[in-house]
Amino acid sequence: MQDRSARHRSRTVAAVLTAVSLLGTAALAGCDTGRDETTKGAAAEKRRPPAKPGPLWDRRPGSVAAVGDSITRGFDACSVLADCPEVSWATGTDSEVRSLAVRLLGESGAAERSWNHAETGARIAQLPEQMALAAKEKPDLVTVMIGANDACRDSARLMTPVEDFRASFEASMRQLRAGAPKAQVYVSSVPDLKRLWSTGRGNALGKQIWKLGICQSMLGNADDMGAHATARRSSVQERVVAYNDVLRKVCAKDRRCRYDGGAVFDYRFTGKQLSQWDWFHPGRNGQARLAEIAYRNVTSARPPA
């Protein structure tokens, strides 16, 4: 009896040890599987490309410099054939317009921390020099509105070639980056000159001013609806569209540049928004509309589509 009992206890102990051994092996296998999954996850994480940084855009810049042409100088907005920079959509101080600078910086801030380097009559070829001047101010934001004078020539054949326009705008961006590498750039599209002709030609006084030499490629012989005049205006329209495409594409290459998405080109200026002196340039009301468009796009969380 004692021998059988001893043998029984021996078999029981062996069975228990075997069970413990099997459980341990299963547990270790489970731990190994977990380590394998963790290792695979880490490897996958390493293979995943790093997230691309988002575009750099400060929606509340602390200073503004403007470059461009007669529109940014407020030409014909206050008196005939004269600049009126105080009503400029970009940097003016007029309370009725409430320029982009005023909306961003307040009235005192706009007076102290905004600069207007635009020139009436300027074409894209003059923009690099203006950009160099703007860069010296070390502004947080530079506004650009240029191109109307490249299309507004004495004849359509004198319009700036598209490739020359591109080269000058690229040179302008390089000039700015050389002196102000972190400045933001807001680029307005060239206005729809054909729509301005269509709107303004109903005013007899405006058409008399046009004869003094304003944008003859589009406004010359304003009432001529013949085939030649129609083709001339269409060629100017096509060139403006091409200029805007250049502005969009060149701006898209710079992470600190924002194009207006064609907002100014698409805006339907009425007689109320045009200068009462020439019925072509924006008047005070038109300047205010340009300021609204710019402020909306500069402060938007996303760039215009």
Instruction: Give the CATH number of the domain where residue 81 resides.
Output: 3.40.50.1110
Residue 247 belongs to a domain: yes
Report pLDDT for 289.
Answer: 98
Report the mean per-residue pLDDT for the chain. Answer: 87
Please give the Cα distance from 289 to 276 (Å, whole number): 16
* Share above pLDDT 90 across residues of the chain, in percent, rounded to a whole number: 79
**Domain extent at residue 117:** 64-298
107 and 35 in a single domain? The answer is: no
Instruction: Give 135-185 as a DSSP string.
Output: HHT--SEEEEE--HHHH-SSSGGGSPPHHHHHHHHHHHHHHHHHH-TT-EE
99 and 240 in a single domain? The answer is: yes
Report pLDDT for 34.
Answer: 45
198 and 283 in a single domain? The answer is: yes
- pLDDT, greater one: 149 or 10: 149
Residue 305 belongs to a domain: no
36 and 84 in a single domain? The answer is: no
Domains in the chain: how many in total?
2
Report pLDDT for 75.
Answer: 97
54 pLDDT band, cuts 50/70/90, is very low
Instruction: Tell which residue, 58, 295, 38, 15, has the closest CA to residue 183.
Output: 58
Beta bridge partners of 114: 64
Report pLDDT for 305.
Answer: 82
Please give the Cα distance from 187 to 173 (Å, whole number): 11
Report pLDDT for 258.
Answer: 98
Residue 286 belongs to a domain: yes
User: Average pLDDT in the 229-233 region?
Assistant: 97
Instruction: Tell which residue, 91, 76, 97, has the closest CA to residue 285.
Output: 97
Say which range, 6-15, 110-119, 206-215, 289-298, has the weakest mean pLDDT. Answer: 6-15
**pTM for this model (two decimals):** 0.82
Is residue 82's pLDDT more than 60? yes
33 and 139 in a single domain? The answer is: no
**What 3-state DSSP class applies to 66?**
strand
